[in-house]
Structures are given as structure tokens and as C-alpha cells.
Structure 1
Amino acid sequence: MKRYSLHIAGEAVAPHSGSWFATQNPYTGEPWAEIPRGNAQDVDAAVVAAHHALTSGPWAEMTPTQRGALMRRLGDLISRDATKLATTEVRDNGKLFAEMNGQLNYIPQWFYYYGGMADKVQGATLPLDKKGYFAFTRHEPVGVVACITPWNSPLLLLAWKLAPALAAGCTVVVKPSEFTSASTLEFAELFEQAGFPPGVFNVVTGFGSEVGTPLVEHPLVSKISFTGSDATGRLINEKAGKLLKHTAMELGGKSPNIVFEDADLEQAAFGAISGIFAATGQTCIAGSRLLVQESIHDAFVERLLGVARTARMGDPMSADTQVGPVTTPPQYQKILEYIEIARNEGATAVLGGDKGTGPECGNGWFVQPTIFTGVTNGMRIAQEEVFGPVLSVIKFKEEADALAIANDVRFGLAAAVWTSDIGRAFRMSERLQAGTVWVNTYRAVSFMAPFGGYKDSGLGRENGIDAVREYLQTKAVWINSGAVAGNPFVMR
């Protein structure tokens, strides 16, 4: 099996522990590579390297324009190696090659966009109420950033954090999920090829208690940017808060996908399928609650089943496969447990409802695409994030009813509305408590559009102009241009 190394200060290094652990292919269930088991010593080496690069290395002396040029060069290298990196991600997380290849070919745009933004970060002159002073603002990098990334889309979600952080002038230490570290370690090799100084980008792999905790608690880390479960996010935010560190949290979701009777029902059915069965439902923006107007409920469910029954499970590298395996054994068990919870709550499985065991599933961790009807919004299956191919269908009567059900959940990451009424589209998009609202589409993202959650779905925003501000701090500069010193014991 391939054995990977940590990436610290521009070099591939062995872990201080002298230990590696196996990463498994979710389709075959077999180990395929060895990942370094980092520890607090490795974290310290990486953070010290990042702090040195931030404060005294060539990166600190570069102009924003020079930093932007490196970022654009990095984008070119990602584009060159997109197929290779996508293949590694499929091998490590089991998502479809068509999806991961699409992501990898799209990721360069983050580095082009933010590379161009690097020298557009501007301060301002300030009008003052005091004579004899000139004042202006500077926007400076927040410091060393710890990026903790999830297992479902490792490099895409890293790019959402990394590109604006680099544009702001920060340096970065990444702790990828222990389940899907390989693509991040391969990605790290591109930084030296692009010409980045040592220490700007570092990767320490391993487990949460051995790498994540010391990374969050390290005194030289100024900001933690995390994507993952809300439970883990709360723990990280609590630790960071005690140390007065900046945080950005992109957490879970229980997104409502709302279909009104006046919608294009064919498009809405495809949108509902995309919202929950794409990526095997392993996405924070999964439209796991399908709210259907009562007048069309039965007919729409039949239409939905007609599309869903055609979904093909199988080898994620095959162009014919539409639903791949679940990425990790713990997540596989969790999804199956939630299916039983739904049955015990009285919901009816009109599709699927079991593990995938056919020959097309190999030895992988497959769950059948599952649709439950008879779901009420108070059920656990409607309130808790399953993170798998499990859809809950909930009836509603009128617009106000749909809005009340949609917002009656502790999450607020995304939502969608399917309607031909433009007035309703505006009303719903205004009143839905979600960071992203789609109208007559689902699961669309861009480097240009801010992304983040309301309520328990997180803090801060990724993507768009807003994201750079997450990695900057503002300094006010006062210059005495002629004010006469007065009483030294009184505020000027």
C-alpha cells in the first residue's frame, strides 16, 4: 500500500509517533493506503512553521499582488492534476467520480477568484470629529489559521477556507478527516511546485484527540475554520472561546425542499432527487425534508418514486453509477439506525429502507435510496441530521403552513422553493431561516456566492467577498497632523 507523509514547512516528513493507520476504500471495504498518525509534536512543528512564514519569511514580505500570482499558479496546477486528485478522493471517500472530477475541475476557480482579490483588499480614510488628525484603516491577516475539514468533499471544502485565507495573507495548518486524508496530502505537493514559501501550507493528519485538540489549543493559532457536525463544532467553539480565538463554523443541516402545487413537478422531482440522493445524501445541504403541498402529495410521491427507482448503485468510478457507498463504517451504521428509528416512529418506507447487498455493491457500505412518507415534523427523522440517502416526505396545506414547518428545526443551512409564483418565491426566500435559499433549483454553489448557516448550522460565511473578511482584522491608524497637546490627563 502507498504510505503518505505529513507536510510541514514545505517538506514531506514522517510523524513523530512513528505510526501510520490504514484508510479504506468504501466500495471494496479494503485498506488501500497508510496515513501518518500525527500528534501534538507534529502540530507544534506545523504551527511554528506557519507562524514563522507569517511573520518573518518570504510570504510576509510579498506584496498582495505577488501572493495572488502564486494562487493563480496553484489553480493551474490543480487543473492539471484534477483527474488524479479526483480519483484519489473517490478511492478514499466513495463518492462518484463524475461528482469529484467535476469538483476538482471547478476548484481552480477559487484560487483564480481569490488570487485576483488579494490586492483588492482596501482600507479607508476616516472622517473625524477632531481637528488636527488624519486617520485611516488597514486590513491585516488574522494570523495562523487552523482548517479542520470533513470527509465528504475534502478538497472542495478546503478550498472554501484556504483560498480566502491565502488572499488575506494568512498561513494555514490543515487537519483533514482521518477517514479521507490522502487527497489533501497529495494536494500539498502542489504548493512547492507553485512556488509558495515553506510553512505557508501545512498538513497534519491523525485523530481528533491527538491532532485536532492540540491544533485548536495551540497558542500561535489565531483562527479555527471548521466544517463538520454541529456536536464537534460546539466542542471546538467552546475551546476556542475560552482562548479568545476567532472561529468560523460550517455545521449540519436539515434543509427543507418545498414543492408547491403550481411548481413544474417534473423539475421539482428531479430537484428532490438531487437534493437527497446525490453524493449518497452525505452533504450538509441535503434536502432531507421534502415538504409537499397536500393537494399534490400522492401524485408527486408517485412521480418521485418513478425517478428514484431508476437510481443505480455500484462502483463510484463507473459512469453508469448514480449512488455510491457510504464513506465510513460508523456513518453506515448511523444511517441504518435512523431508518429503524423512522419505522419505529410510524413512518412508512415506500422505497428502500435497507442496506444495499446486490453484486453491484461489491463489499462496500451501501444503503438503498430510501423514501419515507407519513412523516410529521416532530419525528426524529425530520429533526436530526441523518447524512445519508434517506428522505422524509411531509405534507403541508398552505404557504404559511409550509413556512412554519420549514423553520421548525434547529438548523438553518439551506432551503429550496419550487413554484411558478414569483411573489411566493420572494416571500418564501425572505422568511425562510436559512443561509442559502434556492428557487426552482437545488445544490448550486459558487465561489462568488456567500455560504453559511443560520441557527445551529454555523457561524461566519465562506465564498464570495464576505469570506476574505473572515480572515482579516482591522487596524485604525491615527496621525497627528497639527493638533496641539492639551491636558495629558484628559482623553483627546
Structure 2
Amino acid sequence: MSAVVLPPSTPPAVADFISREHGLFIDGGWRAGESGERLVTYNPATGQPLSTIAAGTRADVDAAVAAARRALSDPVWRDITPLERGELLHRLAELVATHADELAYIESLDNGKPLSVARAVDAGTTTKLFRYFAGWPSKFEGSTIPLSPRNGMRILNYTVHEPIGVVGAIVPWNFPMSMASWKLAPALATGNTVVLKPAEETSLSTLRLAELIAEAGFPPGVVNVVTGIGTVVGAAIAEHPGVDKVAFTGSTEVGRRITTAATGNMKKVSLELGGKSPHIVLADADPVAVAAAAAEGIFFNQGQTCTAGSRLYVHADIYDDVMSALIARAQEIVVGPGQDPATQMGPLVSARQLETVTGYVQSGVAQGARVAAGGDTPANLDEKYRGGYFLSPTVLAETTQAMRVVQEEIFGPVLVAMPWRDVDELIDKANDSPYGLAAGIWTNDITAAHRIAAAVKAGTVWINCYNLTDPASPFGGYKQSGWGREMGRGVLEEYTEIKSVWVNLT
């Protein structure tokens, strides 16, 4: 690999971490991959090599699963009290908070997102998640159930929650560390062990998180991290007979493959998949405020967000006003490297993703859409970033429901906009999608807001806000947007088995 050039502002701790030869974290220690092969990770802002990671194999997954199974039955982990388990999670949360600036810088370099977003969202969310779930081990209770047994028997019936076992967690590249914490926090809070595969494009922050997991005092084998290609490492986890559950976040296409692979030993599966979320604007909404919210809803994280408000439906009475303000907003967004404090939107994660997104823009134009903003490489980029994976914030007007850009998830900074007049037709169009992850509604009419919220098939509906999440609130989708829920109390059910115990007291 050629010499790595880091921004002058790179903190020494980050530069030191980036320069290491990163291995696999298995059974509490670091080791080289079985094959000895390595993968290059790239800086999306320059297109140049950033670091290297181990290319894990099926043999490495076997070793990680074996370590996780040993830890699962080891009294050191199996028999610790709920308060002790919560304390480990709390220690990890505080370590993440202490190293938040370092973790955010690693994330920004590896993923491309603005440093401010990586600090507030990625590192901030990870800290909040571990803090929140640190409180659950001592509070996730079973229940006693009043029964009506035959023959006058006196029965005590109660339930207990037990860990499922070894969890295979496979996470995406758009929010690498925080998506890992979405899986790790509830899995560990409920006493499971984990084999975690980060995305091959963005493994660095998760590898640094593994160091903090060891520092927090989690026993060896409780958390294992195997980097590598999805079709090798991810597939091996999904198929592995020693894995009891797979928790996956990523595309619907890969989610289908994981579901098929998991049938071998009938392992439990939870999936957080794609989205094509409608952002709905009623006639009484403020056009300027809506334009700002719509821009944030689609251009946040370069549009690489499963809940991105990628379909904008605006009442015809204010459509022109909203579009005028939205186009102006899109053209004002500063695009650049994530480490530049002025940057508001960074590059896409990879050359492949840039090619995919620009292909969708071309498809839209070919089917009759008009590029109202963006659709090209930002003109004001410094020469040293010309090899980066940049795309200007893009708005497509004159789109129709049948277009690919309206029906398919683009996963980039591309918004499609359409006017509407009849609310029933609007709801039909909003639901005319294989996805059902999220939706946004903007209006001062609370009756209309609740009516539309009830009619839209989506796991999350935001009214006069957008893209808000919290560890206490469940998150997930309808239809092909997934199975199960992340976060909140409900996610604990995804990581436990419920045992019903009957005691004859007669």
C-alpha cells in the first residue's frame, strides 16, 4: 500500500491507530487472519488508501464462534449478577465518551462524513446506547401468570428471560460504530455473547471500539470482531450452526440472503433493512421551514441513511415556494472533506456507491425527470479532493410514481419531489413502495397529521420533525424494511428466549 497522507489536523492518537496493522479481535486478544490476506480501506475524500484490515475467512469465523460459545458457558460471564453486567456496559459507555473525539475522527476519515456529525451522532449515539442499556439488566423482569388449571390444581406459573446464546451481528457502513452499538448493547445487556462483522469499507471505528470493550473488562470471548468481505465472513456467520441468532442491518437484498442462510439451524433473525421514506407536506406548512427540514432529511449523512426522506410530496398550493427554497438550500450546502470544519456534507463512502447513485440520477433523467439542483461533482473542490467520491446535493423535479428513482432506494443525496392535491391519492402514493421504514408529516392541522400518520405504513412517523431517534424508543420497519425492532424495551425480546415455568403447589 502507498504511503498514507492524513489531514494536518489529525490527532496523534488517531494517526497512530490508523497506521497499525489491524487484526481480528477473538477471545479477548488480537490475531492475524487465518489466510494472512489483507484489505485496503480508503479515504472517501481523496480516493487514496487509508489503512488495511485483516481479510477474515470461514476459519476465523469458526474460531470466533468457538470463543463466543466458551464464554457463554463460562461462569465468569454466565453467572455475573445483572448489576455487574450493567456496570460493564456503563464502563464501556464512559470509555466511549472519554475517547469520543478520537472515535469521531476515525469515523470521519473512514466513512467520509463531517466530523461534527461523527462526533454528535456516531460517538454520541454510541455513548447514549451503552448508558441506556446499562440500566436494563437489573430491570428486565419476567412475570407471574394467573392460570385456570384443571382438577383444582394449585399452580405457580412464572416466566424468565434467558439469553438466546451466540449472536452474529452484521452491520453496515453508513453509521459503523453506532450501528454496532445498536446490536452490542442489548445483546450484552441480556447476557449473550457476540461475533460482530463490521462493513469492509468502514471497520476502523469498530476495531477501536473492541479495544475499549477489552479495557472495560468484558471477559474474553464475550465480544469478537471479524473483519472481511460480506460474502465470506457475513455468509459464514449467517450459516454457522454455532450461531443462535443473526442481527443484521443493511440492504433488503442482503437481508433476504441472510434469512435463507439462517434456515440451516433455524436461528433467530432480526433485520433492519432499506427504506424509501415519504416526506409529506400539507398546504398550511411554512415553505421555508419545510425546505430546511426536507434538505436535512435527505442530505444528512450524504443521504446514506435508511430513513432518508427521499420522496418529497408537497401540496400543490405551496409546491413552487417549497421547491424554490429547497433548491436554494441545496445549492448553499458546503460539500467537502469531513475534517474541514466548514463541510456540511461529505463524500459518499466508496467509488462503487458513487457510481450507483449517479447511475440513478441518469436513470431519472432518462425517464423524464429534471435535475433542479446538483447531479454533478461540486465545482469548488480543492484539487487534492478531485479523486474523492463527491456528489452535489441533488433534487429531481418532474418525477412520477413509476420512475425507478421514486420506487427504489438510492442511498445517496438525491431527492425526488412531486406535488399532490387529493389526500387519499397522497396516502396511496406514500404507501406505494415495498418499504415501510419511516415517514415525515408537516402541518399545523393536528387532525390531518394523525389521520395520515395512522394511514401510512411505516415503523416510525415523525410529525413536524424528522430523523429523530432515541435509545428508549423502538425503531424498525414494515414490509421489506425488516423484521423486529431495535432499541427500547422491545429489542430485549429480540435477544432473549422466554421460558415458562410451572410449579405444582397442590
1:329 Cα deviation (Å)?
A: 1.2
Identify which of 445, 450, 463 aligns with 1:426: 450
Q: Does 1:102 align with 2:120?
A: yes
Task: State whether structure 2 residue 469 is matched by structure 1 residue 445.
Answer: yes
Q: Which residue does the alignment assign to 1:375? A: 399
- Give the alignment of 1:341-352 within 5 angstroms: 341-352=363-374
Q: Which runs of 5 or more residues in structure 2 are unaligned? A: 1-18
Report the Cα distance in structure 2 between the residues aligned to 1:222 and 1:357, rounded to whole angstroms: 50
1:51 pairs with 34, 44, 69, which one? 69
RMSD: 1.1
Q: Following superposition, which runs of at least 4 residues in structure 1 exceed 6 angstroms of deviation?
A: none
Alignment of structure 1 residues 74-473 onto 2, 5 Å = 74-103=92-121, 104-130=123-149, 131-356=153-378, 358-360=380-382, 361-473=385-497
**Is the CA contact 1:2–1:32 (under 8 Å) kept in the aligned structure 2?**
no
Contact 2:239 2:264 in 1 (8 A): no
* Letter matched to residue 275 of structure 1: G
> Could you say what secondary structure the match of 1:119 adopts?
coil
1:133 CA drift (Å): 2.6
Equivalent pair of 2:287/2:318 in contact (CA under 8 Å): no
Q: Give the corresponding residue for 1:490.
A: none
Classify the secondary structure of the residue corresponding to 1:190.
helix
* Aligned residue among 28, 33, 49 for 2:46: 28
User: Deviation at 1:106?
Assistant: 3.2
Residue in 1 aligned with 2:7?
none
Which residue does 1:61 correspond to in 2?
Answer: 79
Deviation at 1:362, TM superposition (A): 3.7
- Between the aligned partners of 1:20 and 1:95, the Cα distance in structure 2 is 24
Distance in 2, Cα, partners of 1:417 & 1:105: 26
Work out the CA distance in 1 between the residues paired with 2:417 and 2:494. Answer: 37
The one of 2, 6, 10 aligned to 2:28: 10
Read off the aligned partner of 1:291 and give its amino acid letter.
Y
Q: Which whole-Å deviations, capped at 9, do the CAs of 1:223-260 have from their partners, x for residues lacking one? A: 10000010000110111134311111000000000111
Counterpart amino acid of residue 401 in structure 1: E
Contact 1:357-1:366 at 8 Å conserved across structures: no
Q: Say which SS state the counterpart of residue 317 (structure 2) adopts.
A: helix
SS at match of 1:366: coil
Offset at residue 471 of structure 1 (A): 0.4
Q: CA shift at 1:479, angstroms?
A: 1.8
* 1:307-344 Cα distance to aligned partner (Å, 9 max, x none): 11111111211121111101011111001110110000
Q: How far apart in 1 are the matches of 2:309 and 2:231?
A: 32
Q: CA deviation at 1:357?
A: 5.2
**Residues of 2 paired with 1:400 and 1:179: CA distance?**
42
Larger mean Cα displacement after TM superposition, 129-138 or 263-272: 129-138
> How many residue pairs get matched?
482
Distance in 2 between the 1:193 and 1:395 partners? 54
**CA 1:147/1:269 → structure 2, altered by over 3 Å: closer, same or farther?**
same
Matched to 2:300, the amino acid is A
Q: Distance in 2 between matches of 1:43 and 1:128?
A: 45
Paired residues of 1:40 and 1:211 also in contact (CA < 8 A): yes
CA distance in 1: counterparts of 2:321 and 2:232, whole angstroms: 52
Q: Is the 8 A contact 2:200 2:228 kept in 1?
A: yes
Deviation digits for residues 348-390 of structure 1 (CA, Å, limit 9, x no counterpart)? 0011122335433442111111111111111111000110011
CA contact (8 A) 2:167 2:246 kept: yes
Give the percent of matched residue pairs that are identical in Structure 1 and Structure 2. 43
**CA distance in structure 2 between the aligned counterparts of 1:174 and 1:357, rounded to whole angstroms:** 40
Give a deviation string over 1:405-455, Cα, whole Å, max 9, x none. Answer: 111111010100000101111111111100110011111111111100100
